Amino acid sequence: MSTADRRLNLEIDFRSTGILGSSDGYDLAEQPSLRVVTENVGIINAVVVEGKLKNQSNWDTIDTIIGVDSTYVDISSYELIRFRCSVYNASGIPKIVVASFFKRPIGGSVEIGCTNGDDLSTRSFNFISSDSTISITGNASTNEIDLKAVSAGASLSSLTDVDLYSPDESDILKFNFTSGKWENSQELLEIQNQTPPILLENNTGSTILENTPVRVNTNGDMDLIDVSISNSVGIIGLLASDTLDGEQGEIKSDRVIKNVSIAFSFGDILYVSKTGGLTNVLPQVGINGFVSGDFVIKVGVVSKNQDNPLNKDIILDPDVIIQLS
């Protein structure tokens, strides 16, 4: 521990009863405890640790140390601290050694409280636990702190009230009142000019798979692209996840759709297939079911993800290129 962490360091020899050191006491306001050691004393000697508030008249007895001993003394309720020999009976030169620290090992349970209206955000707490475990409890319903049992070197997932599932760097942590746990989830935040997600219902009668290009039909719902019908070729984006019939799904419509799970290669140009999915084969009459009159619809290009070069992005660039003849 550095000397900067130490606030008080006393070494006082004594040969009689009375005040040891300053009779006015030492200002140790906001200090949690003292380490007090008595040396070279007989079993009859007694040293008293006294404390008071600055405006208090009388000194309170906090602890009495009998004979040779070393102990921690709780001084958290006092501002001024002093020391007094109440019983002296030694042939040698007894000594008291005292030190207070901003940080020290804490054994057992420590409670920190505040009155209603206090702003905890302006306070800083440092804990060093003898068993490397910190426990801060509170009441979630009253917006108080509710953290539990963090072991030294542990990750967030080691918390007893946190349940992480496939965490991603873009996730946020939210409290689920049903499960009583903090859970990670992905959310699109509206920051500056960002737009909220596009959510449409699937009423096609079947499941639409993730990364399928979709459009808006005449009912205002999502639908598959139909390359054979001119008013069914308007791509609005790719479906974010498999969406069952009757359920609402999110459509990814950003210029760059990141971390897409696809089998295509970097640089592939993607088109709408005859069945409404994705293909990297240029549509032509007689190939993969395409016939005369079908539309060639470009979706975008497969690109490399900048954060993880092993992952793939799709640069969305939808366009109706030509009608086959």
Residue pLDDT, tens place only, 61-92: 999 988 888 888 989 889 999 999 988 887 67
pLDDT of residue 186: 67
User: What is the per-residue pLDDT across 130-152, written as a single tens digit (0 to 9) for each?
Assistant: 444 455 555 545 555 544 444 44
User: What is the per-residue pLDDT across 180-198, written as a single tens digit (0 to 9) for each?
Assistant: 788 877 665 555 555 678 9
Please report, as a single letter, which amino acid is at residue 15: R
3-class SS letters over 275-306: CCCEECCCCCCCCCCCCCCCEEEEEEEEEECC
Q: Answer whether residue 249 shows pLDDT above 60.
A: yes
pTM listed for this prediction:
0.43
Percent of the chain beyond pLDDT 90? Answer: 48
Sign of the C-alpha dihedral, residues 78, 81, 86, 92? positive
pLDDT of residue 158: 55
Beta strands in 17-171 (DSSP E): 18-20, 26-27, 33-39, 46-52, 60-66, 69-74, 80-87, 95-101, 133-136, 147-151, 162-163
Residue 163: exposure state from Cβ atoms within 10 A (0-12, 13-18, ≥19) = middle
Average pLDDT rounded to a whole number, residues 306-318? 92
Q: Which residues pair with 237 in a beta bridge?
A: 214
Cα gap 202→72, rounded to integer Å? 68
Cα gap 307→314, rounded to integer Å? 14
Q: What residue ranges define each of the domains in the chain, with the CATH number in brackets? A: 3-101 (2.60.120.1380), 124-185 (no CATH), 198-323 (no CATH)
Cα gap 83→41, rounded to integer Å? 16
Percent of the chain beyond pLDDT 70? Answer: 75
Task: State the pLDDT confidence band at 246, using cuts at 50, 70 and 90.
Answer: very high
User: What is the per-residue pLDDT across 10-49, written as a single tens digit (0 to 9) for each?
Assistant: 898 888 899 999 999 999 887 888 889 888 877 778 899 9
Tokens at residue 65, please?
Answer: 């140390």
User: What is the per-residue pLDDT across 87-104, written as a single tens digit (0 to 9) for each?
Assistant: 888 767 888 898 886 544
- β-pairing, 80-87 with 33-39? unpaired
